[in-house]
Copies of this chain bind each other. A is one copy, B any other.
Amino acid sequence: MTDADAEVDPLKEEIMLATYRALASEGYGGLTVQAIADEFPKSKSLLYYHYDGKEDLLTGFLDYALDQLHREIELEATTPAAQLRALVDVLLPAELPAERRHVQTALFDLRGEAQHDDRFREQYAKVDRTVKGTVAGIIRRGIEDGTFDPDLDPELEAELLVSAVFGARMRRLTTYEEFSIEETRRALDVHLDRLFMADDAGNADETSNAEE
């Protein structure tokens, strides 16, 4: 997350976009460096120069996705409440078009691989630690600026929220014909409303719509 404010390297951006497209078309199981190269408009040697094979491209992609998440919630949203709603929006969008679902599916397969592969496990430990740290920081700022209940423990609330959002994402992908994203988002909305100062409850709905 440290370089999220820096300019994104355009070449890296193109490689990551190629990885995204290859994950969408091939899934995690069918992913090859060749499939990524096929989506990459420049010379394949550039790809090999920057990344040392498929595993390296995938861990790079997870870092890139983390940076993107950080951008969307910390740079584009302003108030702590809007930042938490943005986190839900990015990780649990109301609509999930085929390409985006295919990429989420591939990433969930990769999360499963983390059970059996040390490198991916370390990478997912970093993903969880980073997202949780970001959420805890937002809650801390919300307490400081008087929006959130000062009795909240930012670390514990972040722990709960990250599990709830990642758990809902998993349930959506593995039961999707029957999964109600509207209900999940409403449940998270009601939950986020609880973080506000007690006498601020009337403002909760307003804030929830502020960035729409």
Binding site for B on A (CB under 8 A): 105, 108-109, 111-112, 114-115, 121, 124-125, 128-129, 153, 155-157, 159-160, 162-171, 173-179, 183-184, 186-188, 190-191, 194
Chain A interface mostly: helix
Chain B nearest CB from A201 CB (Å) reads: 11
Count of this chain's copies in the oligomeric assembly: 2
Contact A171 B175 (CB under 8 A): no
A166 to B: closest C-beta gap in Å = 4
Given A183-B156, A190-B153: A163 and B168 interface contact (C-beta under 8 Å)? yes
B residues in contact with A179, CB < 8 Å? 125, 128
Q: How far is the CA of A171 from the CA of B125 in the complex (A)?
A: 8
- Once bound together, how far apart are the Cα atoms of A174 and B177, in whole Å? 26
- Report Cα–Cα, A175/B162, bound state, in Å: 14
Docked-complex contact A171 and B128, CB < 8 angstroms? yes
Option from B157, B175, B188, B191 in Cβ contact (under 8 Å) with A128: B175
